[in-house]
Amino acid sequence: MNGKPHKRFRWFWYLLALFVIVVFAFAPIGSVLLCGAIANAYGCKVAEGSVHPCIINGHDYGELLYSLGVMSWFMLVTIPGGLVAFASWLIFLILRRVAWRKRVSAGIPPPIPPPPATA
């Protein structure tokens, strides 16, 4: 090549987007796990059919635990949505990586020039 060091591919934004996609897709599982952990720790009963009283430190948290448990139904939307977002992310990543590889192989500078160096 021309002896210049190669710029590395910027993975940070792609990995951040992947993290957001995974968190979105599996967020309802977190609410169900939290509901189960709280209910088991305090000996409460949780069901999707109705609200059961759950007294913790003198307050009834049955309605909150019921809501957390029923949020599992959001998985019907978030898991398929996450799969579509992941497929889109993967296609975009592959296309960008191939374009970057071609540009680096040909020695073409990036489309945005770096700022001038100040002395």
List pLDDT tens digits, range 18-30: 999 999 999 999 9
Burial letters 51-88, b for 16+ CB under 10 A, else e: beebebeeeebbeebbebbbbeeebeebeeebeebeee
Residue 59 per-residue DSSP state: E
62 lies in a domain? yes
Tens digit of pLDDT for each residue in 74-91? Answer: 999 999 999 999 999 999
Residues in CB range of 22: below 8 A, 6 or more apart = 82
118 lies in a domain? no
111 lies in a domain? no
77 lies in a domain? yes
Boundaries of domain holding 41: 18-106
What is the pTM (predicted TM-score) of this model?
A: 0.72
Mean pLDDT for 81-102 is 93
Tokens 């003198």 -> residue:
58
Q: Report d(CA 73, CA 84) in Å as an integer.
A: 18
